[in-house]
Amino acid sequence: MLILGLLAAAQSSLAESSTMRCGSQLISLGDHGFEVQRKCGAPVSQAVIGSKESFSRNYRNAEQVMIEEWIYGPDHGMYRYLRFEGGRLVRIDSKRGQ
């Protein structure tokens, strides 16, 4: 029972979502970085955290794409971590500030 409680607490500290509200605007996975910045404003932190090889549909062409992390918040004690790959939003995580 104690293990279940600890597992639930760990999962609640970092939640993943497919959308995020910025005022009256909504951003979604797949949005371009310029769309996110237009709707949400400038992030409090923006960093390139790496790159990865991306393949086209026919697997004959490969290219390096940049991986970025943008952080927004705090909003009611919550920080939002946005991950972009090749300029497109691929992940939204939320974490309560300490």
The predicted-structure confidence for 34-93, as pLDDT tens digits, reads as follows 999 999 999 999 999 998 887 766 667 778 899 999 999 998 899 999 999 999 999 999
Query: Do the domain assignments include residue 4?
Result: no
Which of 44-70 are b and which e, b meaning 16 or more Cβ less than 10 Å from the residue's Cβ?
A: eeeeeeeeeeeeeeeeeeeeebeebbb
13: three-class secondary structure by DSSP = coil
Query: Do the domain assignments include residue 9?
Result: no
Distances (CA, A) of 95 to 53, 63, 64, 71: 28, 32, 29, 11
How many domains in the chain? 1
Query: Do the domain assignments include residue 5?
Result: no
Give the pLDDT confidence score for residue 13 in this predicted structure. Answer: 52
CATH of the domain at 57: 3.30.1450
Question: Is the Cβ–Cβ distance between 7 and 1 less than 8 Å?
Answer: no
Nearest alpha carbon to residue 74 among 38, 29, 43 = 43
Give the pLDDT confidence score for residue 66 in this predicted structure. Answer: 94
| Domain of residue 44, residue span | 15-96
Question: Is the Cβ–Cβ distance between 15 and 96 less than 8 Å?
Answer: no
Query: Do the domain assignments include residue 48?
Result: yes
